[in-house]
Chains A and B, each alone.
Chain A
């Protein structure tokens, strides 16, 4: 089911029960990593040295609903392909509406 606003009505003989109708807010489910994606200038195979780069992670649940809860902790890691292979963790910034911004520069 998609995240939406439902209006539920229970009637008997065409007459609503007490408390009917009522509305249900259906929020997005847990964020699914394989349904989330990223985009931006920093999300490509070849980047320019000296340019500020950034990309935005868009979080979705398994049904494809955009995540509207700021509960996801994305781990963004850049691992050098050199001999030592050190790793750097980038700090993501939550923008709201399931969008997380990551900035870096090479």
Chain B
């Protein structure tokens, strides 16, 4: 029997207080996620239970009990506090998926800092934009990433501390750099927990939009209420489960369901810090007897591509429940997982801004392959008519996916960007930016984005950010960036470019431009195709018509071109 039970029963008289009661939280109490995910679990008698099984590349293995992660969180929290870090200071976590990343998350929250996790593959410019926007005071990182920080630190006057967790004497420390070694630190049995309340800020995740710079999505400690309950009901985590969330904590899935959800439930989770390989993944599942696996369509399609034979080389019978997030899960992937694992991947839909799963195929319920599923109890959702922002009642008609605000993990603000935050609401609805239809059983069917944001491998990339980076290349005159269809990643970045006088198009320049963006922003943002053009299509007022390029790339109707500039 799943934790969730029957949909109709859960929907009836649902109230988020069900999670509050289970977490023994009462309105007005101190609510600190760092404490709830470690100290509270120990107080429940699970201090000796394994919290984290870590495997790094090359056979590096570590294990931590809940008492270990409680103490490690204390050590890191105390270290930060001794530096003078205080409540609501921003502390960036810029690390690969090493244990210190997860433990620093707890430690920073315990002292009330706002955690700003950033994907460690980000290039220096992506890092700079986000650290500057958040006015980050400290960054916790690894030696291998320090050169990126050194390139930008002089432009970041608020960044006082660059904390290196794996320092070796091979590199000389420079200005503002401090060594911290968790394994060599004295245990800290008790630490004064920051008295966060429900609305105290907790996590700042950055997300991309069509225009402007990335936005910092502010979450609060009360988000744990939704994250706890959705983890329990949707991912169906039970006390003896071994859980693997493949997401990086640089993205919201990696914190909501890669830290807060499982650890607030006292569940053992596994981390694999290595590049993708089908063999390594299956071996990891077999070795650790993973029971619940939360992954992404891009990974699932990559596993499909690796073939069926390799699956049969491993004993994957421990798998009990599978779920997916990041982009729409195609029906072929669901059908394939039933064939190979004897169970379907359950699609889940949510966003950085929502903080928790909003629409899903629930355990024990009929999965409609290709559908996102139904609304989570307590979530009021609809598809809206884009003309008047009124809900569409007709089944099958496409509209904008929208939710009534008010669930616990709803974002509270875009950091220092009130205007963009307000733009996300119309007629009292939060607009997700995605389009879908709803069938007559309440299942949502994803159609696509309502804007030009590129969803590649489950991560959003802003065309504006890539275009801006391209313009910094000495050969680039103008640029337009769109999504290109891709079998594995759903979409990838494609750039259309005009060159400045004196430069000629060619494969070497194409490669140079690709690498330029990769290093400056990230591998995700790197154009996987570059098309050189004599001129870009523009309106008579001079605005580049990205829509036209997109339509041609996707073989769609070009639509109204009356505003197109003539030669």
| A and B: interacting chains | no
Residues of A bordering B, CB below 8 Å = none
Residues of B bordering A, CB below 8 Å = none
